[in-house]
Amino acid sequence: MSQSISKRLEAYTIKCPQEVLIIRAEVAGDEDEIAIFKGFSSSLMRPTAFDPDVPVLPDTATILRVDRAKSPFNPKIPDYIQKGLSWSQMESLLAKVGV
């Protein structure tokens, strides 16, 4: 069985700790924005479960875009590496780092 989308994105940020991923996704019919950094995910728009086994980004979510930013991330003045990547573009980056 393949890894979940959430686990793959978290693994990417472990392999690329200088990056923060900002994911815009549709989750259960609502838009959400999720930050992923050093293997941890957190919703920027709704409560995040305390249990790390509860995925912030479920596999049923539709990823609308992915932004790559330099860490440390400052939401007031973000330093973007790339903005507006599609899921297929992000999958290529995941494959490059082996996740």
DSSP string, 55-88: -SS-TT-EEEEEEEEESSP-TTS--EEEEEE-HH
pLDDT digit string (tens) for 33-89?
A: 999 999 999 999 988 888 877 889 998 999 999 999 999 999 899 999 999 999 999
Residue 1's pLDDT is what?
40
Q: Give the integer Cα–Cα distance in Å for 82 and 72.
A: 15
**Which helix (H) or strand (E) element contains residue 96?**
helix 87-97
pTM of the model: 0.92
